[in-house]
Amino acid sequence: MRFQRRAAAVGLIAAGALLFSACGSDGGGEGQGGQAAPGGVACGGKESLRASGSSAQANAITRFVTNFEGACEGQTLNYTPSGSGAGRNEFIGGQTDFAGSDSALSDAEVATAQARCASPAWNLPLVFGPIAVAYNVPGLQALNLDGATIAAIFNGTITTWNDPRIAALNQGAALPANPIVVNFRSDESGTTQNFQRYLNAASNNAYGKEAEQTFQGGVGAGARGSQGVADATKNTPNSITYVEASFAQRGGLGIANVINSGGGQPVALSPETVGNAINGVRVSGQGNDLKLDLNSLYTASAPNAYPIALATYEIVCSNYADDQTAQGVKAFLSASLTDQAQQGLPEAGYVPLPAQFKQRLTDAVNAIQ
């Protein structure tokens, strides 16, 4: 099973389907003794945890597991990136110890998850990955866009690069009169769904399309996977796409600065600016159920807050029937929140959790029974 988890994650990396630790360097753990390893992680509990779900977080989970194994001798997590829907179903069906998901439990799933747990299930947003608006316009060194303009590009309302609405945000830039080529994900994708949620929220629903896992904009050319849209944009002058930040960076694409809903200065994408937006996100769940009000992320208005990011949850039981499982899940999640685990994320295209948000997650993890 450990090989299955790692092979699946490596396959995803090779396909380019992933985005832009934990107490390993803090020293060895105490194995199954239930004592705290250096770094504050209480090891112990179930030796081999099972989880499945979101492929968007798979590379982060692989990093977390490596550090978990180094800190808590004899313990591991076998994670299968089978997709968010499958992950939720397998957790609700009792096949796994927790689920990874690009979406929180739906209203219909809350009751069945509670029946599986014999307690409320909690949505814990552990991994965030920024989504870049990436472009290839020869000679254009920088591009500023706001939510309404991005939405108008991706639903086909704005069709040329020198459109007055783009020009107004880019004073003095040499914008060509060429048509805009939109590249979109042709496969089902949590990135597509979250990006379209952003387009609706940031444009006051002027995007006018449902936020499905398939692109609904009705314009442009499709390419499969994150690497596919990045390559299509790299190879097509005057094109634009949405893609996880690491793919845009590796492809040498331009990344648009985004003017958030506060209407201030354009904000460049970076771990710090995405972290600023995460710190301002509201929680719509109750107590330690940290289901997010994602509209509050997409409509971030704080200065220097980049508002386009995908959040993935770990869905857990608040009170496991088996104490060993509860202790193992707490150990893994606690290890994933250590400084070393978080600091290793940017090179893979994820964002370290800002301190304020991490503390709230830590409190919720510590409350698992």
Cβ contact 184:225 at 8 Å: no
Is residue 298 assigned to a domain? no
Residue 252 CB neighbours (<10 A): 10
Domain co-membership, 38 together with 58? yes
What would the two tokens of residue 333 be?
Answer: 């999640």
Domain co-membership, 221 together with 262? yes
Is residue 299 assigned to a domain? no
What is the per-residue pLDDT for 143? 98
Domain co-membership, 202 together with 158? yes
CA 277-279-283 angle, to 5 degrees, is 105
Domain co-membership, 28 together with 48? yes
C-alpha dihedral sign at 274, 279, 283, 286: positive
Cβ contact 92:109 at 8 Å: yes
Q: How many domains does the chain have?
A: 2
Is residue 280 assigned to a domain? no
Domain co-membership, 32 together with 74? yes
Percentage with pLDDT > 70 across the chain: 89
Domain co-membership, 74 together with 24? yes
Q: Which helix (H) or strand (E) holds 69?
A: helix 58-71
Give the model confidence (pLDDT) of 123-149 as tens digits: 999 999 999 999 999 999 999 999 999
Is residue 339 assigned to a domain? yes
Range of the domain at 248: 131-274
- Measure the CA–CA gap between 290 and 313, rounded to whole angstroms: 9
Domain co-membership, 19 together with 81? yes
Domain co-membership, 109 together with 140? no
pLDDT over threshold 90, residue 255: yes
Domain co-membership, 81 together with 143? no
Mean pLDDT of 195-210: 97
- What's the CATH code of the domain at 262? 3.40.190.10
- What pTM value is reported for the model? 0.83
Q: Which of 228, 246, 274 is the last residue of a domain?
A: 274
Is residue 279 assigned to a domain? no
pLDDT over threshold 80, residue 283: yes
Looking at the DSSP bridge assignments, the partners of residue 146 are 259
Nearest to 153 by CA among 220, 226, 201: 220
H-type alpha helices, 203-317: 225-234, 245-250, 271-279, 294-298
Domain co-membership, 137 together with 264? yes
